[in-house]
A and B are shown apart, each in its own frame.
Chain A
Amino acid sequence: MIRYECLEFLAAKITDQLVVTSQSGQRIEWSHLSKHEGNLLVGMMGCAIGVGMGLALALPHRKVIVLDSDGSVLLSLFNLATLGNLRPKNLAIYVFDNGVYSGSRISYPTATAGNTDLVAMAQGAGIKNAQTLRNIEEFKHKGVEALARDELAFFVCKVEESLMHREIPRPDTDLAENKYTFVRYLERTEKKTIPFISRG
Protein backbone atom coordinates (compact mmCIF):
# COMPACT_ATOMS: atom_id res chain seq x y z
CA MET A 1 0.00 0.00 0.00
CA ILE A 2 1.01 3.62 -0.31
CA ARG A 3 0.49 6.36 2.25
CA TYR A 4 -1.78 8.46 0.02
CA GLU A 5 -4.43 5.75 -0.29
CA CYS A 6 -4.45 5.32 3.51
CA LEU A 7 -4.82 9.05 4.06
CA GLU A 8 -7.51 9.30 1.40
CA PHE A 9 -9.54 6.63 3.20
CA LEU A 10 -8.92 8.21 6.61
CA ALA A 11 -9.82 11.73 5.44
CA ALA A 12 -13.33 10.56 4.57
CA LYS A 13 -13.80 9.35 8.15
CA ILE A 14 -12.90 12.62 9.86
CA THR A 15 -15.67 14.44 11.70
CA ASP A 16 -14.57 16.38 14.78
CA GLN A 17 -11.28 14.63 15.54
CA LEU A 18 -8.12 16.70 15.91
CA VAL A 19 -5.39 15.69 13.48
CA VAL A 20 -1.71 16.49 14.06
CA THR A 21 0.86 15.78 11.35
CA SER A 22 4.62 15.86 11.52
CA GLN A 23 6.76 17.31 8.79
CA SER A 24 7.29 15.05 5.81
CA GLY A 25 5.23 13.67 2.97
CA GLN A 26 2.12 13.01 5.03
CA ARG A 27 1.86 16.71 5.94
CA ILE A 28 1.69 17.64 2.26
CA GLU A 29 -0.63 14.80 1.30
CA TRP A 30 -2.96 15.31 4.26
CA SER A 31 -3.26 19.05 3.64
CA HIS A 32 -4.16 18.26 0.04
CA LEU A 33 -6.78 15.69 1.04
CA SER A 34 -8.32 17.37 4.08
CA LYS A 35 -9.36 20.98 4.68
CA HIS A 36 -10.58 20.13 8.19
CA GLU A 37 -10.15 23.09 10.57
CA GLY A 38 -9.02 20.64 13.24
CA ASN A 39 -5.83 19.86 11.32
CA LEU A 40 -2.60 21.03 12.92
CA LEU A 41 0.16 20.66 10.35
CA VAL A 42 3.19 20.76 12.63
CA GLY A 43 6.06 21.84 10.42
CA MET A 44 8.90 19.87 11.96
CA MET A 45 9.95 16.27 12.48
CA GLY A 46 9.90 14.56 15.87
CA CYS A 47 7.32 16.83 17.51
CA ALA A 48 3.89 15.63 16.40
CA ILE A 49 3.45 12.82 18.93
CA GLY A 50 4.37 15.15 21.79
CA VAL A 51 1.98 17.85 20.60
CA GLY A 52 -0.73 15.25 20.03
CA MET A 53 -0.18 13.82 23.50
CA GLY A 54 -0.53 17.29 25.03
CA LEU A 55 -3.77 17.88 23.13
CA ALA A 56 -5.12 14.48 24.16
CA LEU A 57 -4.36 15.16 27.82
CA ALA A 58 -5.84 18.66 27.70
CA LEU A 59 -9.00 17.46 25.93
CA PRO A 60 -9.62 13.90 27.20
CA HIS A 61 -13.11 13.76 25.66
CA ARG A 62 -11.79 14.53 22.17
CA LYS A 63 -10.19 12.01 19.80
CA VAL A 64 -6.72 13.08 18.67
CA ILE A 65 -5.02 11.52 15.65
CA VAL A 66 -1.31 11.81 14.93
CA LEU A 67 0.04 11.15 11.44
CA ASP A 68 3.75 10.48 11.69
CA SER A 69 6.64 8.84 9.90
CA ASP A 70 9.32 6.30 10.76
CA GLY A 71 12.01 8.97 10.55
CA SER A 72 10.10 11.22 12.93
CA VAL A 73 9.43 8.51 15.49
CA LEU A 74 13.08 7.48 15.42
CA LEU A 75 13.90 11.09 16.23
CA SER A 76 11.68 11.05 19.32
CA LEU A 77 11.78 7.51 20.69
CA PHE A 78 11.38 8.84 24.24
CA ASN A 79 7.72 9.41 23.33
CA LEU A 80 7.13 5.64 23.37
CA ALA A 81 8.00 5.32 27.05
CA THR A 82 5.78 8.22 28.03
CA LEU A 83 2.92 6.96 25.87
CA GLY A 84 3.31 3.49 27.38
CA ASN A 85 2.87 4.90 30.86
CA LEU A 86 0.23 7.57 30.27
CA ARG A 87 -1.80 5.56 27.74
CA PRO A 88 -4.13 8.40 26.73
CA LYS A 89 -7.32 6.63 25.67
CA ASN A 90 -8.28 9.27 23.14
CA LEU A 91 -5.08 9.13 21.07
CA ALA A 92 -4.52 7.19 17.85
CA ILE A 93 -1.10 7.31 16.20
CA TYR A 94 -0.44 6.21 12.62
CA VAL A 95 3.22 5.89 11.70
CA PHE A 96 3.68 5.62 7.94
CA ASP A 97 6.81 3.54 7.73
CA ASN A 98 8.37 3.50 4.26
CA GLY A 99 11.82 2.60 5.56
CA VAL A 100 13.49 5.62 3.97
CA TYR A 101 14.16 9.28 4.54
CA SER A 102 12.32 10.15 1.36
CA GLY A 103 12.36 13.87 2.13
CA SER A 104 16.12 13.72 1.78
CA ARG A 105 15.65 13.06 -1.97
CA ILE A 106 18.30 10.36 -1.80
CA SER A 107 15.92 7.95 -0.02
CA TYR A 108 18.54 6.86 2.44
CA PRO A 109 17.23 3.91 4.51
CA THR A 110 15.97 4.43 8.05
CA ALA A 111 16.64 1.96 10.84
CA THR A 112 13.28 0.28 10.16
CA ALA A 113 14.64 -0.87 6.81
CA GLY A 114 17.19 -2.80 8.85
CA ASN A 115 16.63 -4.61 12.11
CA THR A 116 14.47 -2.10 13.98
CA ASP A 117 10.82 -2.92 14.71
CA LEU A 118 8.86 0.08 15.98
CA VAL A 119 5.89 -2.05 17.05
CA ALA A 120 8.11 -4.26 19.21
CA MET A 121 9.64 -1.13 20.71
CA ALA A 122 6.20 0.37 21.39
CA GLN A 123 4.98 -2.85 22.99
CA GLY A 124 8.12 -2.99 25.12
CA ALA A 125 7.47 0.58 26.17
CA GLY A 126 4.05 -0.38 27.50
CA ILE A 127 1.72 0.43 24.59
CA LYS A 128 -0.73 -2.47 24.57
CA ASN A 129 -2.45 -1.81 21.27
CA ALA A 130 0.59 -1.50 19.01
CA GLN A 131 0.20 -3.26 15.67
CA THR A 132 1.74 -3.47 12.24
CA LEU A 133 -0.64 -2.88 9.33
CA ARG A 134 0.70 -4.39 6.12
CA ASN A 135 -2.00 -3.71 3.53
CA ILE A 136 -4.88 -1.36 2.81
CA GLU A 137 -7.49 -3.84 4.03
CA GLU A 138 -5.79 -4.03 7.43
CA PHE A 139 -5.58 -0.24 7.49
CA LYS A 140 -9.29 0.11 6.68
CA HIS A 141 -10.39 -2.40 9.29
CA LYS A 142 -7.96 -2.62 12.20
CA GLY A 143 -6.59 0.88 11.71
CA VAL A 144 -9.63 3.02 11.15
CA GLU A 145 -11.87 1.01 13.47
CA ALA A 146 -9.57 2.02 16.32
CA LEU A 147 -10.94 5.55 16.04
CA ALA A 148 -14.17 4.36 17.62
CA ARG A 149 -12.43 2.68 20.54
CA ASP A 150 -11.50 4.20 23.88
CA GLU A 151 -7.88 3.02 23.89
CA LEU A 152 -4.45 4.31 22.95
CA ALA A 153 -3.63 2.95 19.49
CA PHE A 154 -0.22 2.88 17.82
CA PHE A 155 -0.15 1.59 14.26
CA VAL A 156 2.93 1.17 12.13
CA CYS A 157 1.62 1.23 8.58
CA LYS A 158 4.12 -0.45 6.28
CA VAL A 159 3.96 1.54 3.05
CA GLU A 160 5.93 1.57 -0.16
CA GLU A 161 7.94 4.67 -0.85
CA SER A 162 5.80 7.02 -2.92
CA LEU A 163 6.72 10.35 -4.47
CA MET A 164 3.13 11.58 -4.56
CA HIS A 165 3.95 14.37 -2.11
CA ARG A 166 6.35 15.87 -4.63
CA GLU A 167 3.69 16.01 -7.32
CA ILE A 168 0.77 17.60 -5.46
CA PRO A 169 0.69 21.25 -4.33
CA ARG A 170 2.39 21.99 -1.03
CA PRO A 171 0.22 23.65 1.65
CA ASP A 172 0.22 27.44 1.35
CA THR A 173 -1.10 28.01 4.87
CA ASP A 174 1.71 29.20 7.09
CA LEU A 175 2.24 27.85 10.60
CA ALA A 176 0.71 30.82 12.42
CA GLU A 177 -2.37 30.89 10.18
CA ASN A 178 -2.86 27.16 10.68
CA LYS A 179 -2.42 27.49 14.44
CA TYR A 180 -5.03 30.24 14.75
CA THR A 181 -7.51 28.41 12.53
CA PHE A 182 -7.02 25.31 14.68
CA VAL A 183 -7.38 27.16 17.98
CA ARG A 184 -10.44 29.13 16.82
CA TYR A 185 -11.99 25.84 15.71
CA LEU A 186 -11.32 24.43 19.17
CA GLU A 187 -12.79 27.50 20.87
CA ARG A 188 -15.92 27.17 18.74
CA THR A 189 -16.38 23.43 19.15
CA GLU A 190 -15.32 23.24 22.80
CA LYS A 191 -17.26 26.40 23.66
CA LYS A 192 -14.39 27.77 25.71
CA THR A 193 -11.68 30.37 25.46
CA ILE A 194 -8.11 29.25 24.84
CA PRO A 195 -6.33 31.35 27.50
CA PHE A 196 -3.30 32.65 25.62
CA ILE A 197 -5.08 33.71 22.48
CA SER A 198 -7.74 36.09 23.68
CA ARG A 199 -5.74 38.77 25.38
CA GLY A 200 -5.54 41.76 23.08
Chain B
Amino acid sequence: MKDELAKRIVQGLKDAGINFVTYLPETRLSQIVPLIRDDPLIELVATASEQEAVTIAAGATLGGKQAAVYMENTGIYVSSYGLLTVGKQLGVPILLIVGYLGGVPDQRNSFLYATIGSRTIPVLQGLGIEHRVLEDGDKLEEKIRDAVRAANALRGPFALLFAGEFSL
Protein backbone atom coordinates (compact mmCIF):
# COMPACT_ATOMS: atom_id res chain seq x y z
CA MET B 1 0.00 0.00 0.00
CA LYS B 2 1.30 3.44 -0.83
CA ASP B 3 2.12 5.58 2.17
CA GLU B 4 -0.38 8.13 0.95
CA LEU B 5 -3.21 5.61 1.29
CA ALA B 6 -2.10 4.71 4.81
CA LYS B 7 -2.17 8.39 5.77
CA ARG B 8 -5.62 8.80 4.26
CA ILE B 9 -6.95 5.77 6.17
CA VAL B 10 -5.73 7.19 9.48
CA GLN B 11 -7.00 10.67 8.69
CA GLY B 12 -10.31 9.14 7.63
CA LEU B 13 -10.58 7.31 10.93
CA LYS B 14 -9.95 10.52 12.85
CA ASP B 15 -12.42 12.47 10.74
CA ALA B 16 -15.01 9.77 11.45
CA GLY B 17 -14.47 10.18 15.20
CA ILE B 18 -12.42 7.04 15.85
CA ASN B 19 -10.28 7.67 18.94
CA PHE B 20 -9.53 4.14 20.18
CA VAL B 21 -8.03 1.29 18.12
CA THR B 22 -7.21 -2.24 19.23
CA TYR B 23 -5.24 -4.46 16.90
CA LEU B 24 -3.24 -7.51 16.05
CA PRO B 25 -0.82 -6.67 13.24
CA GLU B 26 -1.02 -8.10 9.72
CA THR B 27 0.69 -7.40 6.41
CA ARG B 28 -1.59 -5.51 4.06
CA LEU B 29 -2.38 -2.35 6.06
CA SER B 30 0.52 -2.45 8.50
CA GLN B 31 1.70 1.08 7.68
CA ILE B 32 -1.26 2.48 9.60
CA VAL B 33 0.07 1.17 12.95
CA PRO B 34 2.99 3.63 13.41
CA LEU B 35 0.82 6.47 12.14
CA ILE B 36 -1.85 5.71 14.74
CA ARG B 37 0.74 5.11 17.45
CA ASP B 38 2.23 8.55 16.83
CA ASP B 39 -1.14 10.29 16.77
CA PRO B 40 -2.11 11.76 20.15
CA LEU B 41 -5.80 11.77 19.23
CA ILE B 42 -6.09 7.97 18.94
CA GLU B 43 -5.35 5.49 21.72
CA LEU B 44 -3.74 2.37 20.26
CA VAL B 45 -3.91 -0.92 22.16
CA ALA B 46 -1.89 -3.97 21.11
CA THR B 47 -3.62 -7.27 21.86
CA ALA B 48 -2.73 -10.94 21.78
CA SER B 49 -5.81 -12.12 19.89
CA GLU B 50 -8.49 -10.60 17.67
CA GLN B 51 -11.10 -12.04 20.04
CA GLU B 52 -9.54 -9.97 22.80
CA ALA B 53 -9.27 -6.95 20.50
CA VAL B 54 -13.03 -7.07 19.92
CA THR B 55 -13.92 -7.32 23.60
CA ILE B 56 -11.55 -4.49 24.61
CA ALA B 57 -12.97 -2.30 21.85
CA ALA B 58 -16.49 -3.10 23.03
CA GLY B 59 -15.65 -2.08 26.59
CA ALA B 60 -14.06 1.15 25.38
CA THR B 61 -17.15 1.93 23.28
CA LEU B 62 -19.42 1.46 26.28
CA GLY B 63 -17.07 3.74 28.20
CA GLY B 64 -17.48 6.54 25.68
CA LYS B 65 -14.86 5.92 23.02
CA GLN B 66 -15.53 5.48 19.31
CA ALA B 67 -13.60 2.28 18.79
CA ALA B 68 -12.20 0.32 15.88
CA VAL B 69 -10.43 -3.04 15.61
CA TYR B 70 -7.68 -3.49 13.03
CA MET B 71 -7.08 -7.10 12.03
CA GLU B 72 -6.38 -9.51 9.19
CA ASN B 73 -9.45 -11.34 7.90
CA THR B 74 -8.23 -14.50 9.63
CA GLY B 75 -9.13 -12.51 12.74
CA ILE B 76 -12.79 -12.57 11.72
CA TYR B 77 -12.71 -16.32 12.31
CA VAL B 78 -10.76 -16.00 15.56
CA SER B 79 -13.06 -13.29 16.93
CA SER B 80 -16.39 -14.59 15.61
CA TYR B 81 -17.49 -15.49 19.15
CA GLY B 82 -16.82 -11.97 20.44
CA LEU B 83 -18.31 -10.35 17.35
CA LEU B 84 -21.50 -12.32 17.83
CA THR B 85 -21.79 -11.96 21.61
CA VAL B 86 -20.50 -8.53 22.66
CA GLY B 87 -20.86 -7.12 19.13
CA LYS B 88 -24.22 -8.33 17.91
CA GLN B 89 -25.98 -9.73 20.98
CA LEU B 90 -25.03 -6.94 23.37
CA GLY B 91 -25.30 -4.44 20.52
CA VAL B 92 -22.04 -2.50 20.60
CA PRO B 93 -20.81 -0.54 17.56
CA ILE B 94 -17.28 -1.41 16.48
CA LEU B 95 -15.59 -0.52 13.21
CA LEU B 96 -13.61 -3.45 11.80
CA ILE B 97 -10.64 -2.43 9.65
CA VAL B 98 -9.79 -5.67 7.91
CA GLY B 99 -6.89 -6.64 5.66
CA TYR B 100 -8.82 -8.75 3.15
CA LEU B 101 -6.33 -11.48 2.23
CA GLY B 102 -7.22 -14.13 -0.28
CA GLY B 103 -10.27 -12.46 -1.76
CA VAL B 104 -10.53 -12.01 -5.54
CA PRO B 105 -9.35 -8.35 -5.36
CA ASP B 106 -6.30 -9.24 -3.20
CA GLN B 107 -3.31 -8.33 -5.40
CA ARG B 108 -1.07 -10.68 -3.42
CA ASN B 109 -3.46 -13.61 -3.41
CA SER B 110 -1.99 -17.10 -3.37
CA PHE B 111 -2.84 -20.64 -2.36
CA LEU B 112 -1.88 -19.61 1.17
CA TYR B 113 -4.74 -17.13 1.45
CA ALA B 114 -7.43 -18.04 -1.07
CA THR B 115 -9.43 -20.41 1.14
CA ILE B 116 -9.40 -17.90 3.98
CA GLY B 117 -10.44 -15.09 1.65
CA SER B 118 -13.17 -17.01 -0.11
CA ARG B 119 -15.09 -17.67 3.12
CA THR B 120 -14.65 -14.24 4.75
CA ILE B 121 -17.77 -12.58 3.35
CA PRO B 122 -20.01 -15.64 3.87
CA VAL B 123 -18.87 -15.77 7.51
CA LEU B 124 -19.59 -12.06 8.01
CA GLN B 125 -23.00 -12.62 6.46
CA GLY B 126 -23.56 -15.58 8.71
CA LEU B 127 -22.75 -13.42 11.71
CA GLY B 128 -25.11 -10.73 10.44
CA ILE B 129 -22.31 -8.19 10.11
CA GLU B 130 -22.56 -5.72 7.24
CA HIS B 131 -19.46 -4.98 5.21
CA ARG B 132 -18.03 -2.97 2.35
CA VAL B 133 -15.05 -3.96 0.17
CA LEU B 134 -12.62 -1.12 -0.60
CA GLU B 135 -10.30 -1.60 -3.58
CA ASP B 136 -8.97 1.91 -4.14
CA GLY B 137 -8.76 5.34 -2.58
CA ASP B 138 -11.85 6.73 -4.28
CA LYS B 139 -13.94 8.55 -1.65
CA LEU B 140 -11.99 6.67 1.03
CA GLU B 141 -12.62 9.15 3.84
CA GLU B 142 -16.33 9.27 2.99
CA LYS B 143 -16.57 5.47 3.03
CA ILE B 144 -14.91 5.27 6.44
CA ARG B 145 -17.29 7.91 7.77
CA ASP B 146 -20.26 6.02 6.30
CA ALA B 147 -19.07 2.79 7.97
CA VAL B 148 -18.78 4.40 11.42
CA ARG B 149 -22.21 5.99 11.02
CA ALA B 150 -23.64 2.61 9.99
CA ALA B 151 -22.05 0.82 12.97
CA ASN B 152 -23.51 3.37 15.37
CA ALA B 153 -26.94 3.19 13.76
CA LEU B 154 -26.93 -0.61 13.66
CA ARG B 155 -25.62 -0.85 17.24
CA GLY B 156 -23.11 -3.44 16.12
CA PRO B 157 -19.92 -4.17 14.20
CA PHE B 158 -19.41 -3.00 10.61
CA ALA B 159 -16.52 -4.36 8.52
CA LEU B 160 -14.43 -2.50 5.96
CA LEU B 161 -12.51 -5.06 3.89
CA PHE B 162 -9.40 -3.56 2.30
CA ALA B 163 -8.06 -5.19 -0.89
CA GLY B 164 -7.03 -4.04 -4.40
CA GLU B 165 -4.64 -1.07 -4.16
CA PHE B 166 -4.53 -1.52 -0.41
CA SER B 167 -3.05 -5.00 -0.81
CA LEU B 168 -0.09 -3.97 -2.98
A residues in contact (CB < 8 Å) with B: 20, 40, 42-44, 46-47, 49-59, 76, 78-79, 81-82, 85-86, 175-176, 179, 182-183, 186, 190, 192-196, 199
Contacts and interface: CB of A to CB of B under 8 A. Distances in A.
B64 interface: yes
A58 B89 contact: no
Contacts of A40: 62
B100 to A, nearest CB: 24
Contact of A82 (B52, B59, B62): B52
Interface string B137-168: 00000000000000111010000000000000
Given A50-B52, A52-B59, A43 B152 contact: no
Residue among B20, B62, B91, B92 with max Cβ neighbours from chain A (10 Å):
B62
B40 interface: no
Interface of B: 17, 20, 22, 43, 45-49, 51-52, 54-67, 81-82, 85-86, 89-93, 151-153, 155
A101 to B, nearest CB: 17
Nearest to B93: A196
Given A58-B20, A195-B64, 18 more contacts: A42-B90, A43-B90, A50-B54, A50-B55, A51-B59, A51-B86, A53-B55, A54-B58, A54-B61, A54-B65, A58-B59, A58-B60, A82-B46, A82-B48, A82-B52, A179-B62, A193-B64, A194-B64
Interface of A is mostly: helix
Given A43-B89, A179-B91, A196 B61 contact: yes
Contacts of B152: 195-196, 199
A199 B22 CA distance: 24
B61 to A, nearest CB: 6
B4 to A, nearest CB: 29
A55 B62 contact: yes
Contacts of A52: 59
B46 to A, nearest CB: 8
A179 B57 contact: no
Nearest to A47: B55
